[in-house]
Amino acid sequence: MGGVLVDLDVQGCKDAFKQGLGYMRIDSLIDACHQKGIYGELEEGMLSAEDFRNAVLSESRPGAVAEDVDRAMWKMLVGIEPYKAEMLSRLSEDYDLYLLSNNNPICLARSAAMFEEAGIPLDKIFKKCFFSFGMKMLKPSVEFYREVMRQIALPACDMLFIDDSMKNVEGAALAGLPAVYYEPGTDLDALMRLQTAKMEGRC
């Protein structure tokens, strides 16, 4: 989701934690792809949203509240470019689309609203969504990809995984899932047209 379909602003998120909350440890917890510490535990489903908020607030300036934590996290999420929404709508006519994301309940609420606003609600455009906090596994875990492949139950040659992290692409490949790297900011539609053409008759 993030970095491929939803544009991200990692620095904006960090600034919101520091300036809005006075929470200075955020630099050690987040990057564009792989979160650490309590943020990683939140995305792996090992820490509840409430416990995450309380942990942040315990090291924030007096007067900060849970809603401030949510707003700071949402600063990570910029939005969905219109061409990507159109691309997903077009692809969904010919392919089953699945979403596999390292994510958490706080950011997912805002992300889902963005998909709704773009006219492509998550439950309509994707056949199924696999979120790390629900699966209690994180990309690039090989076990995560294998479980997703088991549930989708298609031959690997009929699948294609796209990610903006080379570590995640490599993890998928180790699991036997065909995977391609997407560089954020480049033309995702062009990449998808190329890859879907390559998939024709691959099995």
Same domain, 129 and 152: yes
Nearest alpha carbon to residue 140 among 172, 162, 164, 100: 172
**Which conformational region is residue 117 in: left (phi greater than 0), alpha (psi within -120 to 50 degrees), or beta?**
alpha
Q: What is the pLDDT along the chain (203 residues), one digit of tens a residue?
A: 999 999 999 999 999 999 999 999 999 999 766 789 999 999 999 999 999 999 999 999 999 999 999 999 999 999 999 999 999 999 999 999 999 999 999 999 999 999 999 999 999 999 999 999 999 999 999 999 999 999 999 999 999 999 999 999 999 999 999 999 999 999 999 999 999 888 877 77
> What's the domain range around 21?
7-77
Instruction: Classify residue 1: in a domain, yes or no.
Output: no
Same domain, 27 and 87: no
Q: How far apart are CA 59 and CA 144, in angstroms?
A: 32
pLDDT tens sequence across 129-176: 999 999 999 999 999 999 999 999 999 999 999 999 999 999 999 999
Residue 21's pLDDT is 96
Same domain, 102 and 172: yes
Q: Which CATH number is 49's domain given?
A: 1.10.150.240
Instruction: Classify residue 50: in a domain, yes or no.
Output: yes
Q: How far apart are CA 37 and CA 96, in angstroms?
A: 34
Same domain, 120 and 154: yes
Structure-token pair, residue 92: 């969904």
Residue 200's pLDDT is 79
Same domain, 95 and 137: yes
Domain count, the chain: 2
Same domain, 89 and 30: no
